[in-house]
Amino acid sequence: MTKRALLGLFAGLVIAGGGGCDGDAAAGEVGADVVAVDGADGVTAADTVTAADTVTDADADTDADADTDTDTDTDTAADTAADTDTAPDTDTAPDTDTAPDTDTAAPAFTPPAPFGCVTDVAIGHHEVTCGAIRYDLEVPAACHTAPCGLILDVHGWTMNADAEDRNTDMRRRGRELGYVVVQPTAPGLLGVPTWNLDAHAEPVFAFVSDVAAAFRTDPRRAHVMGFSQGGGMTWRLLCTHPDFFASAAPIGAIDGCSFAGAQAPGREVDVLAVHGRVDAVVSYTQTGEPQVLRAAAYWPFGAPAVVAEDATHTVTRWVTPSGTALELWAHDYASQNALLGGHCFPGSGDLTTFPLAFGCADTGTFVYAEVALAFFAAHPAL
């Protein structure tokens, strides 16, 4: 089989995971948009954008309500009559209301407890099977004493939870930043992990809901991210469950949301989308950019503005009157494998995994995982 034929097959199977969503590019369409890039040859990056989590999530109760009850006996009238009543005046009892004002007390944190498919809430790493899907679950120690955030991190076609983590390092990052991290592995299709959005999106959401209930996670800090087919699931879940997810960060995503019918979100959701302009698997022009533009047209965004760019990437931002942000990070980085082209994770160290390494080979790029986490921290649910 020729390289062009192999690439067409690979792209067609990735796109097929969309489960028939409106706007999914057919394999032939994607094949026609292939840009073969041989590793890092001819691709350089001089990215001057650094992402840092600049938001410190520390709730402070500023209610300084004090008990102002200073009731004292004001009966000072003098009895000038020849009153023979010598009984002592008992209306001088002190105010015995000494109970502390509890209006400023923070609610006690309820420790984690099993819920649904989550039967073990211990600190550390867990592998959980729920229905036909296996999940890797990372629980930081901090989540046993205070509410943590929650991140759903979804892999792409041919990958699994471990492969996703090689490219996002989200288990370690979650431990450091106080997030419970959920990374599912898709059921196999002919032995290859493959997502079908129509069949799998709701079971994945049901498990994430179990995790949120078991660990009492902070509902303001629930986020979803994913690559390729997992990026399509990211779009699907932010559209079908906008009240659950505060923000989302799809990368190299297949089409996942039509913004119509059952996929018409009832609330604005902050979205950071990353896509390679030379993606050889999921076309930037046929799928990546059109998906973002559908979101821009659905919500009341103002005119787009380029907020950062260099020779190899451009960041375009839309903002609604209420402050909801939509960002498109379009880049020219590429994998070492010509089959993938720009279908890769910027800043990932996954460069040698056989048969497919999904890290972008370029140096000096922005780091997708860091950019996503900074976006999550800056956009909690209100």
Distances (CA, A) of 76 to 69, 72, 265, 273, 315: 20, 11, 68, 75, 76
55: which 2 tokens? Answer: 């938001």
Beta-sheet pairing, 247-251 with 313-319: unpaired
Contacts of 283 (CB under 8 A, 6+ apart): 25, 29, 30, 33
248: which 2 tokens? Answer: 């989302």
* Beta bridge partners of residue 137, listed in sequence order: 126, 182
d(Cα 162, Cα 184) in Å, to the nearest integer? 9
331: which 2 tokens? Answer: 């880049």
Q: Which of 195, 273, 215, 209 is nearest to 245 (CA)?
A: 209
* Beta bridge partners of residue 118, listed in sequence order: 115
* Beta bridge partners of residue 215, listed in sequence order: none
Question: Chain-wide mean pLDDT for the chain?
Answer: 82
Q: What is the pTM of this model?
A: 0.76
113: which 2 tokens? Answer: 């407890």
pLDDT for position 333: 98
Q: Which of 192, 190, 174 is nearest to 182 (CA)?
A: 174
Q: What percent of the chain has pLDDT over 70?
A: 72
pLDDT band at 201 (very low <50, low <70, confident <90, very high): very high
Beta-sheet pairing, 305-309 with 313-319: antiparallel
* Beta bridge partners of residue 222, listed in sequence order: 150
Beta-sheet pairing, 247-251 with 270-276: parallel
pLDDT band at 365 (very low <50, low <70, confident <90, very high): very high
pLDDT for position 129: 98
CB 290 within 8 A of CB 258: no
Give the model confidence (pLDDT) of 124-171 as tens digits. 999 999 999 999 999 999 999 999 999 999 999 999 999 999 999 999
CATH fold for the domain made of 3-18+113-378: Rossmann fold (3.40.50)
Residue 195 has phi, psi (to 5 degrees) of -90, 140
d(Cα 189, Cα 194) in Å, to the nearest integer? 6
Q: What is the mean pLDDT of residues 298-323?
A: 97
Least confident stretch, 15-24, 91-100, 131-140, 288-297: 91-100
Burial of 21 (0-12, 13-18, 19+ CB in 10 A): buried
CB 373 within 8 A of CB 173: yes
d(Cα 317, Cα 314) in Å, to the nearest integer? 10
pLDDT for position 37: 33
Whose tokens are 């599912």? That residue is 184
Give the model confidence (pLDDT) of 84-123 as tens digits. 444 444 444 444 444 444 445 557 899 999 999 999 999 9
d(Cα 176, Cα 140) in Å, to the nearest integer? 8
234: which 2 tokens? Answer: 């990211």
Contacts of 1 (CB under 8 A, 6+ apart): 9
201: which 2 tokens? Answer: 């999106």
The half-sphere exposure of 104 on its side-chain side, counting CA atoms within 13 A, is 10
d(Cα 90, Cα 379) in Å, to the nearest integer? 61
Give the model confidence (pLDDT) of 38-81 as tens digits. 333 333 333 333 333 333 333 333 343 433 333 334 444 333 33
